[in-house]
Amino acid sequence: MRFSRYLRLFRRPLGMLSLLFLVACLVCAFAAKRIAPYDPCDPKARDILFSAQGPSSKHPLGTDVFGTDILSSLIYGTRVALIVGFTTGIITPLLGAVLGAISGFFGGWLDRALMFAVDVIMVLPGLPLMILVATYVGKSYWIVVALFSFLGWPGISRMVRARILSEKAASYVEAACSYGAHWFRILFRHLLPSTYPLLAVTAARIASASVLAEAGLSFLGFGDPLAISWGKMLAEAQSQGALLLGLWWWVLFPGLAITLLSLSFINIGYLLEEVFNPRLRCGTRW
């Protein structure tokens, strides 16, 4: 691993900040019990005397009407957000890339069938379907992961397929065929890596969108009722009258967390694109 090649990335301040933020969130998610000053799930830890107070020395981001510390809730909330973001950001591109690669590489009836499925699925709206599935199945953030993957793979598939189709005619593929390379090797060792830059950006964008979707679903009340989620915090803020009472800290901070995490994923996507696409890195000979 030549680390010197990655030193150039430090020249991207936005990317570095986003990476830092994501790492901070990961730390919060893993070490929540040790970092969070109070335990948001423990009814005894609720500070009733301090409830609905703004940011103070005792509660840096304030408390809600129940007396729960908002900073602690935010820290515990990173878990759900990161689980949804990472799983969706990994599964969807994987699914889309494999299906798109197979479709583009083999062509024929398989290609036509898959592209028809792509055209149909891309038209379906996301949130109404999530509400429908949640009505039948119950409340969980895995609905977001499953539905996002189901609705998201077509977009990626189409992109990967287009790239594979254009790369199929390249001379290095012809060379590989001539020395008798197995189709598996050609597809996964030569063709698919050419899609990595675009795939990385798209994966990041999907992770970002899935965080927002999970927040939205939790806000509507369809998220996991036992887990702490930033969207659920905003839902509680609204239903407990934060808007009527002017408890701005209860509204500002959870939403800010969602926005910042979402933005971080997108910027990291741009960073990844630079890592994977050698032509974008300044100074390399191409």
Partner 1 sequence: MQSSYFVRRIVLAFLAIWVALVLNFLLIHLMPGDPAERFYADPRVPPEAKEEIIKIFGLDKPLWQQFFLYARNVFLGRMGISFTTQRPVLEVLLERIPWTLAITFIPTLAAIACGIWLGLYAAWKRGTVFDFLLRTFGTAVNSIPSFWLAMILIMVFAYWAKIFPLMGMARPGVSLANAPWEFIKSVAYHAALPMLTLFVLSFPGYALVMRNAVISVLGENYILAAQAKGVSQTRLLWRHVLKNAVLPLISMFSLSIAGVFGGAVLVEQVFSWYGMGLLMVRASQARDFPLVQGAVLITILCTIIANFVADLVQGWVDPRIRYG
**What is the contact surface with partner 1 in residues (CB under 8 A)?**
116, 119-120, 123-129, 131-137, 208, 212, 215-216, 219-222, 231, 234, 237-238, 243-244, 246, 248, 251-252, 254-255, 258-259, 262-263, 266
Of 56 and 135, which CB lies nearer to partner 1 in the complex structure? 135
Q: Tell me the H-state helices in the chain.
A: 13-30, 32-35, 70-106, 108-123, 126-137, 142-167, 171-178, 183-185, 196-220, 230-239, 242-245, 248-276
What is the nearest approach in angstroms of partner 1 to the Cβ of residue 43?
25
Of 126 and 186, which CB lies nearer to partner 1 in the complex structure? 126
What is the nearest approach in angstroms of partner 1 to the Cβ of residue 135?
4
- 211 CB contacts (<8 Å, ≥6 apart)? 81, 84, 85, 258, 261, 262, 265
**Residue 251: closest CA among 62, 56, 81, 57:** 62
Of 101 and 272, which CB lies nearer to partner 1 in the complex structure? 272
What is the nearest approach in angstroms of partner 1 to the Cβ of residue 199?
19
- 134 CB contacts (<8 Å, ≥6 apart)? 140, 143, 217, 222
Of 109 and 136, which CB lies nearer to partner 1 in the complex structure? 136
What is the nearest approach in angstroms of partner 1 to the Cβ of residue 23?
18
CA distances 248 to 100, 107, 221, Å, are 46, 56, 21
What is the nearest approach in angstroms of partner 1 to the Cβ of residue 92?
17
Q: Tell me the H-state helices in 139-191.
A: 142-167, 171-178, 183-185
Of 18 and 72, which CB lies nearer to partner 1 in the complex structure? 18
What is the nearest approach in angstroms of partner 1 to the Cβ of residue 93?
18
Of 173 and 209, which CB lies nearer to partner 1 in the complex structure? 209
CB 75 within 8 A of CB 36: yes
